[in-house]
Structure 1
Amino acid sequence: MTAVQPVPAVVGDTEDRVGAVEAAGVEYLPEEARDSRPRNVGAVFLGANLTWTNVVFGAFAIVFGLSFWQTVASMVVGTALGTLAVVPTAVISPRTGTNMTVSSGAFFGIRGRFIGSAIALLIALAFAAVTVWTSGDAIVAAAHRILGTPETALTRGLSYAVLAVLMAAVALYGHATIVAMQKIVVPVVGVLMILGVAAFAGQFDASTVGGDYALGGFWPTWTLSAVLFAAAPISYGPTIGDYTRRISARRYGNGRICAALGVGMFVGVLLPSLFGAFTAASFADPTESYLHDLVTAAPAWYVLPIVVISVLGGLSQGVLCVYASGLDLEGLAPQLKRTHTTAITATVAIGLLFLGVFVFDAVESVTAATVALNAVITPWVAILAVGALRTPDYDPTDLQAFAHGRRGGRYWFTHGWNLPAVAAWTAGAVFGVLAVNTTLYVGPLADIAGGVDLSTVGSALLAVGIYLVMPAAGRRRADRR
């Protein structure tokens, strides 16, 4: 029988209402505060993926030189693998009552969880910037076609700024408001993307390719595409607990929570990616800007739906990223409130956006950054997945040790670090970064499999293998002190 664990004293307001600013941060949420349902998690990650970011990734595969059906194959395989990697982690936060990075202390140690917080911050900030970039560019292109406004750096910058402010405002309200917004985004944006297939059906050509293979051969290019699609579900690994922490493990079983997440994640990534590949294969004379081509080639009646997708889709993913980054920063700096950390991370995200768009080549920098970050986060997610399958119960009090300024306890391990987990993650991440193969960055191990990118699969297998074979004594629970 699972032992009943002590729970920490609850400080502050944990109530969660639509339209009210959520006061709770990464502290333990008591049972009475967990009023969410598995279907909410499915809606959140379905809606968060219905954005131009995943649409552009679908188009990238065509640009890389793959045909439509080759792209679909890489899309299905990559999305399925990425979804399967994160699904086991869905059961962690309903048991710990806190977000994923704080929960990761159960496997990495009270100080070792800083690894997850740092990775989560980077991922959230990067994808928040990418979301505003893609949505902002689509709005500017649509406004140019409808109103004749210029497509300049100034109009793009203004579009980015407006979207960023809206994104930060919703994120500041918190969990309940975000869930309610996603329940609007899913039907509206989902239907508009399906209508987009009809809008471009007359121009679609399944044999269209964007040119020569980006990496010089079919399999290296196909694998790069699959890795990009796997990156979408995996990148949400640190974010899942932001929503499952408000689900009661007493009322809902593991299977139901995992199924809701899996369906939402897989369909959420697949639908917009298919839309991106389908439309990219319909452009007669594509340029370097997919979103500009989309607006130019769209029938007049579909231009306004593009604007709606840009606003709602951009907010859906951007809000998720900013909310997550605020919680992760609060985990590192518990003296700050969630609202303060959310405002800080939103400001940093918009700064990264302007740097990436106006200083570096957007397509190449986004591709390289996504694959590199994926190589680092995948071994971390893999260790959490193994931990979730092996750990039946957690100690919520000891997980909050850092916030309370305590040492010792169940997750103290070696001076706050679980060395086997840290060593396994380090080995996996180093291998992943060295094995990355993109058009902008080629790691020294990129040719280890004839140019096929093993950064994601290899980093996960290496990390799990090392973690499982490390001495059991290194994984044992620390004695209380």
Structure 2
Amino acid sequence: MTATTPSQDLHAAPADHVGGIETAGVEYLPEEARDSSPRNVGAVFLGANLTWTNVVFGAFAILFGLSFWQTVTSMVVGTAVGTLAVLPTATIGPRTGTNMTVSSGAFFGIRGRFIGSGLALAIALAFAAVTVWTSGDALVAAAHRLLHAPDTRVAHAVAYAVVAALMVTVALYGHATIVAMQKVVVPVVGTLMVAGFFAFAGHVDVSAPGGNYSLGGYLPTWALSAVLFAAAPISYGPTIGDYTRRISSVRFSDRKIGVALGAGMFIGVMVPSLFGAFTALAFSNPTASYLDDLVTNSPAWYVLPIVAISLLGGLSQGVLCIYASGLDLEGLTPRLRRTQTTVITAAVAIVLLYVGVFVFDAVESVTSMTIALNALITPWIAILAIGAVRTRSYDPVDLQAFAEGRRGGRYWFAGGWHVGAVVAWVLGGTFGLLAVNTTLYVGPLSGIAGGVDLSTVGSAAIAAVVYVVSLRFVEA
């Protein structure tokens, strides 16, 4: 049940502590450096989901034309599917002692893990940008109502910069500081969101029917909504190892780690998504900006809580994204330190944000981006989940072969690539992109199920079948 003991050349990483800059990167963390617990992992992913991103996804479902209860069913199904998809990967980090993308070399090969690094970078950068956008917009709207501050492009640009600066600062400190921050975010933001249900209750009719479905019918629109909700836990798949690698596989069982992660993911997505769907029903004349509508229609006493959610909730998700992107880039460029790669990826995320908000339509681009990335990351997660179930021990030395400039070893396979895993991911991801059905992009295979979006389920199923079959011919 435990990872293979590494050789003497893998030195102990210094323990990280709150307020100190973490010096460890993606190198192997020995047993004595495993100072975290399943409870910390649950808190991290619960807090990371209590953000405007998931709130807006909940509101999107209403804007797509679903009724409240139709939205709830798509929310429960999508969140449950996404959470179950990533649960098996919770065991990887404690056994490999490194992050998820480096660990993926055990299944994709030492060079094949570059696929995971690329996907993880894309996911982290995209969601970091979305987090800054949603939190910044909420701050501007609140300042406009409370202080009559101007609601201009300049104001939005400044708000984005402030939120981004806070995110980068915490991400630079690293693991221990992030965990401590999430333990504050969970009770504070969770309580404020629950209070929000009472703030808007007098203006909401949850029995109101839906209609005017954005994809022309109930089932395609419901499926689009479910895929969006599944995207939240799945998108965190590459970052799970950032936190589970610091948990001892000797002191904690797989079950405890999995239960903590699953609870954090599911509850974390459901609470803000329900909040978004519930409050969206309170807007009699909704505009293109849910967050503007939220502040405008909010009771005066709830505007300050909106500000607090914007800052704390934005930090909780954005910090995870920036921290993860720094680790993933370090895995690709071993000569750079984690702090350096974190600054680089943060700068890229901010550029993506400004382009997405000021050049493209935010709502449509965010929806389409999320679905497309989900179609690519889901088959990768499916392969990791199968690999995690089949594998009980890993070789931490050989997993670090790329960083050390070595060739060969247990995970070299065919020139550094596990052909079966790569082919499985390519086929699954290709189907996923071709089957996507959004308001901005409709894939050529989107109509194979009457318009129902099969990009997530189909891509995972194809990748899983091809990978399992390949294992009969290629030793994994």
Give the TM-score, by structure 1 length: 0.97
Equivalent residues in 2 for 1:282-431, closer than 5 Å: 282-431=282-431
Please state how far the C-alpha of 1:469 moved relative to its aligned partner. Answer: 1.0
Please state how far the C-alpha of 1:287 moved relative to its aligned partner. Answer: 1.0
When residues 12 and 155 of structure 1 are mapped into structure 2, their CA distance, relative to the original with a 3 A threshold, is: farther
Aligned to 2:179: 179
Separation in 1, partners of 2:468, 2:243: 29
Identity %: 73
Separation in 2, partners of 1:160, 1:475: 48
Separation in 2, partners of 1:102, 1:204: 47
Residue 190 of structure 2 corresponds to residue 190 of structure 1: yes
Separation in 2, partners of 1:82, 1:72: 15
Residue 412 of structure 2 corresponds to residue 446 of structure 1: no
* SS at structure 1 position matched to 2:474: helix
Residue 45 of structure 2 corresponds to residue 48 of structure 1: no
Aligned to 1:246: 246
Equivalent residues in 2 for 1:67-82, closer than 5 Å: 67-82=67-82
Aligned to 1:169: 169
When residues 150 and 95 of structure 1 are mapped into structure 2, their CA distance, relative to the original with a 3 A threshold, is: same
Separation in 2, partners of 1:14, 1:291: 42
| CA displacement 1:374-415 (0-9 Å, x = unmatched) | 000000000000000000100000000000000000000000
Gap runs ≥5 in structure 2: none
Aligned to 1:479: none
Aligned to 2:221: 221
Aligned to 1:119: 119
Aligned to 2:235: 235
- Whether the aligned pair in 2 keeps the contact of 1:424 and 1:463 (CA below 8 Å) is yes
- Whether the aligned pair in 2 keeps the contact of 1:106 and 1:394 (CA below 8 Å) is yes
Separation in 2, partners of 1:2, 1:307: 45
RMSD (CA atoms): 1.2
Matched letter for residue 89 of structure 2: T
Matched letter for residue 373 of structure 1: L
Matched letter for residue 110 of structure 1: I
Further displaced range: 211-220 or 325-334: 211-220
Please state how far the C-alpha of 1:288 moved relative to its aligned partner. Answer: 1.1
When residues 450 and 3 of structure 1 are mapped into structure 2, their CA distance, relative to the original with a 3 A threshold, is: closer
| CA displacement 1:232-263 (0-9 Å, x = unmatched) | 00000000000000000000000000000000
Aligned to 1:95: 95
Separation in 2, partners of 1:164, 1:38: 29
- Whether the aligned pair in 2 keeps the contact of 1:92 and 1:388 (CA below 8 Å) is yes
* SS at structure 2 position matched to 1:373: helix
Matched letter for residue 310 of structure 1: S
Matched letter for residue 399 of structure 2: L
Separation in 2, partners of 1:238, 1:209: 38
Matched letter for residue 199 of structure 1: A
Give the TM-score, by structure 2 length: 0.98
Separation in 2, partners of 1:435, 1:339: 39
Aligned to 1:145: 145
Separation in 1, partners of 2:86, 2:190: 23
- Whether the aligned pair in 1 keeps the contact of 2:38 and 2:260 (CA below 8 Å) is yes
Aligned to 1:104: 104
Residue-pair matches, total: 476
When residues 471 and 138 of structure 1 are mapped into structure 2, their CA distance, relative to the original with a 3 A threshold, is: closer
Aligned to 2:38: 38
* SS at structure 1 position matched to 2:66: coil
Aligned to 2:433: 433
